[in-house]
A = this chain, B = another copy of it.
Amino acid sequence: MDDLLPGMLHLARDGEETLTRQLTDQLRGLITKGRLAPGQRLPSSRQLAQSLGLSRNTVSFAIEQLSAEGYLTLSAGRRPVVAEGLSLDRRKSSPRNSRAGSERINLSAWASSLQRSVWPPIHKERPRPFQPGLADEREFPHDEWSRCLRRAARNAPLRRGRPINHPPLQEALLRHLAVHRGIKAKARQILFVPTAQAGLALVANALLEPDDHAWVESPGYAGANVAFEAAGAIISAIPLDAHGMTIAARKETPRLIFVTPSHQYPTGRLMPIGRRLELLRFAEAAGACIIEDDYDGEFHYEARPVAALQGLAASPRVFYLGTFSKATYADIRIGYIVVPEALIDIFELAQRHMGSLTPITMQDALAEFISAGAYLGHIRKMTRLYKGRRDRMLQALAAEAGDRLTVETPAGGMQLLARCRPQSNDQQLSARLLEAGVVSRALTSMLYHRSGERGLFLGFAAWNDKEIDQAARILGQILR
């Protein structure tokens, strides 16, 4: 053997790898493949160095590395020995358990259910009209934002302390939310999470026990359903009327209620103050909490935005959920929750346990972007632009689809619901549109109770007039 080993090694003196590394890798390979058998003794490092024409150091390093990794056993004054038990051969594994050892990995019930999940609709390609939920990122001041980011990254070494939620952003956002959304809170109540969905998961995990009942709007935002179901809750789908979620005592008392009062998702309806107060009274009496998702509350076209539910609540039962991804750009990946003051510490701990943290550099850049007025300036510019696009969209749909679609003018937001004839096949329609390059979401995919309502959910914010007209023409052709 001592004579054979050098012949089994092929070291390239002009290779990219060092000789130590080549020798280590090749020796390890010979052991792994069984060409050097367990228990077998290697030549001494002196001998090996000599026969390979290497320095003693080179060989020693390789031997020590392989000993550290456990491939060789060393003992003082003796030659290295190939270690025992280095085979992955499955025949040696315990026969008792061998049936369990299939290649298949058992997923949890939750992960298995994802295979059937229709949420979220995934569009990996470049966005196309009328994909809902998108801001027009072409209009975002990327240069100004990139300067904020650079400055925040350069200032990182100067920052002291390590809060997970950056006080300057909490303060800047609170000033904005207090004035524009009627939020009443202390800055410390605002927590930053990677996405609004992570915020839903956080609240769901912190409040829901398995088999608790959670109310969602129907039609409504499926992201809430999946977050509550993941926490083990039973979903109660609550139908809407013209004022949004209908409130009435039902068989099961909810623990958590999810609503979108600013513009109901997807109908765009505003929940008026009477219903808001009714909802708050109901939640108070039932001991339920409310998640108020103000997903695109920044954009209002008719009047001043209606103040958020959170600011109305006398009791601290409302969790206000928002995101920067509509008023800046989708990739920013910062959402936020305003939590009740008494729960700040618990929710920050929950954030750490779930790992739902966002980079302070991003938070710092956003704080500057808001404080410098760039955030509000962008919102104002986009509000004018989006209002024009909404009107263009209403015109184009009226012209191309006539009375085949009924559209309620949304008072704000980035999308609208165009209703089709009851009981018609909106899924098929949506699929045909997609083939023709027009993205939509069928209303039935957002309905969680039996209902004949049908329609298409269409985004208007991210497309210019020409794109809107073109896509509306395609929609009209397919409808006829």
Contacts and interface: CB of A to CB of B under 8 A. Distances in A.
Contacts of A98: 285
For A124, A302, A352, which residue has the most chain B Cβ atoms within 10 angstroms?
Answer: A352
Contacts of A356: 194, 198, 355-356
A346 B146 contact: no
A209 interface: yes
A205 B162 contact: no
B126 A160 contact: yes
Contacts of A277: 85-88
A68 B209 contact: no
Contacts of A340: 105
Contacts of A162: 123-124, 127, 330-331
A268 B102 CA distance: 33
A450 interface: no
B137 A157 contact: yes
Contacts of A227: 353
Interface residues of A, number: 136
A163 B198 contact: no
A184 to B, nearest CB: 13
A371 interface: no
Nearest to A71: B273
A101 interface: yes
A9 interface: no
B142 A93 contact: no
Interface string A50-68: 0000000000010011001
A17 to B, nearest CB: 10
Contact of A332 (B146, B281, B359): B359
B198 A284 contact: no
Contact of A357 (B124, B161, B195, B360): B195
Interface string A195-207: 1111111000111
How many copies are assembled?
2
A314 B217 CA distance: 48
Nearest to A157: B142
A253 interface: yes
A186 interface: no
A87 B277 CA distance: 7
A249 B98 CA distance: 13
Interface in A306-345: 306-307, 312, 314-317, 329-335, 340, 342-343
A77 interface: no
Nearest to A195: B355
Contacts of A160: 125-126
Contact of A333 (B123, B151, B196, B359): B359
A122 B353 CA distance: 12
B107 A206 contact: yes
Interface string A142-165: 110111011101101100111100
A106 B287 contact: yes
A162 B334 CA distance: 16
Given A194-B357, A208-B108, A281 B153 contact: no
A407 B83 CA distance: 27
Contacts of A253: 97, 100
Given A93-B285, A205-B230, 14 more contacts: A68-B272, A83-B274, A86-B273, A88-B314, A90-B284, A92-B281, A100-B285, A101-B287, A106-B287, A109-B209, A137-B157, A198-B354, A198-B357, A335-B355
8 contacts: A24-B304, A61-B303, A64-B302, A68-B302, A83-B273, A101-B285, A149-B150, A201-B354
The 8 closest A-B pairs by CB, nearest first: A70-B272, A198-B355, A197-B355, A100-B287, A146-B153, A70-B273, A195-B355, A93-B285
